[in-house]
């Protein structure tokens, strides 16, 4: 039976659209993501839709309010979790927000990174496949499949519609 964890992953853009706000996961020694940079987001709760999940997670993690969000894609990550859990992620770009992002949260430091340099950072190997699709100018939504084994992506396939 396929019962994935449903989650959001948001990439917040600066007002000039040249930087994105990432979390450097450097706070919890037991964190599966320790040392990696990532977008903000998390698991959907039973009483919310996916947009509400994104808005809630961004507010909890960065203390900002999403004003304009764009769904960039979805990804089915099988075998991704620490015990091989399956995750299904909705990937967003937050193009406008209100408030001032906090400097850190319980997971790590929040840092602005040039979009042009994002792939140079320590991150999940699989992120390097889909991040160019998040930030490109193609308006079509991507839908990807990326199976993982032992914390490594096995393949990457996607379509755009």
Is CATH 3.90.79.10 the right assignment for the domain spanning 5-150? yes
Q: How many CA atoms lie within 13 A of 121 on its CB side?
A: 23
52: DSSP letter: H
Q: What is the pLDDT of residue 31?
A: 65
Q: What is the pLDDT of residue 34?
A: 72
For the entire predicted model, the pTM comes to: 0.95
Q: Domain spans of the chain?
A: 5-150
- Average pLDDT score, the chain: 95
Question: Of 35-39, 64-68, 81-85, which one has max mean pLDDT?
Answer: 64-68
Q: What is the pLDDT of residue 30?
A: 76
43: DSSP letter: B
Q: How does residue 54 score in pLDDT terms, banded at 50, 70 and 90?
A: very high
The model's pLDDT over 77-101, given as tens digits with 9 standing for 90+, comes to 999 977 889 999 999 999 999 999 9
Q: d(Cα 25, Cα 106) in Å, to the nearest integer?
A: 9
> Radius of gyration of the chain from Cα atoms?
15
- For residues 32-44, give the mean pLDDT: 89
The phi, psi pair for 134, rounded to 5°, reads -70, -40
């Amino acid at each position: 039976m396929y019962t994935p964890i449903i989650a959001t992953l948001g990439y917040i853009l600066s007002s000039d659209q040249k930087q994105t706000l990432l979390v450097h996961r450097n706070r919890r020694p037991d964190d599966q993501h320790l040392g990696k940079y990532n977008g903000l987001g998390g698991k959907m709760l039973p009483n919310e839709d996916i947009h509400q999940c994104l808005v809630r997670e961004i507010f909890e993690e960065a203390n900002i309010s999403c004003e304009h969000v764009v769904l960039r894609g979805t990804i089915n990550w099988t075998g991704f979790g620490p015990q091989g859990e399956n995750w299904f992620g909705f990937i967003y770009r937050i193009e406008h927000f209100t408030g001032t992002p906090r400097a850190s949260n319980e997971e790590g430091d929040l840092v602005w990174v040039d979009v042009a340099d994002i792939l140079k950072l320590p991150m999940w190997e699989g992120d390097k496949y889909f991040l160019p699709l998040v930030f490109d100018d193609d308006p079509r939504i991507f839908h990807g499949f990326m199976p993982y084994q032992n914390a490594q992506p096995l393949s990457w396939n996607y379509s755009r519609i």
